[in-house]
Structure 1
């Protein structure tokens, strides 16, 4: 976690398989899942997006490359 000026930046990263470029624009959509029939309902990142935008008044963005993992960067006001 990092505090820059009046914002806090929280970065979550993994070293997994990453998220393909054509899917990145959909990951925050409700009910979007690549695990249909495997237990995923596609609400997790939609909930994160709504909490960050509505409650924290911030932004969340994805940085990912195939086979390079994924990073989610959440920025929100410190006050």
Structure 2
């Protein structure tokens, strides 16, 4: 469903974070993979649980695009 939202420009903090992660990927791939792993699982496990609670309490059970996956969570994990 189209909602006519505009995508804001990234903040200075967001741009700095992206630059840091790009640099980390080049200089210390293991640290980058560790970061990615932690963020990925935070969003797939805890984030989904928190998102479900928010949807139930204040969003009239609307399904959020962020939590839509092409396969089941077990397959992704």
Fold-level similarity (TM above 0.5) = no
Give the TM-score of the pair, scaled to structure 2.
0.30
User: Which is helix-richer, 1 or 2?
Assistant: 2
Give the TM-score of the pair, scaled to structure 1.
0.29
User: Which is strand-richer, 1 or 2?
Assistant: 1
The structure, 1 or 2, with the larger RCO (C-alpha pairs under 8 Å, 6+ apart) is 1
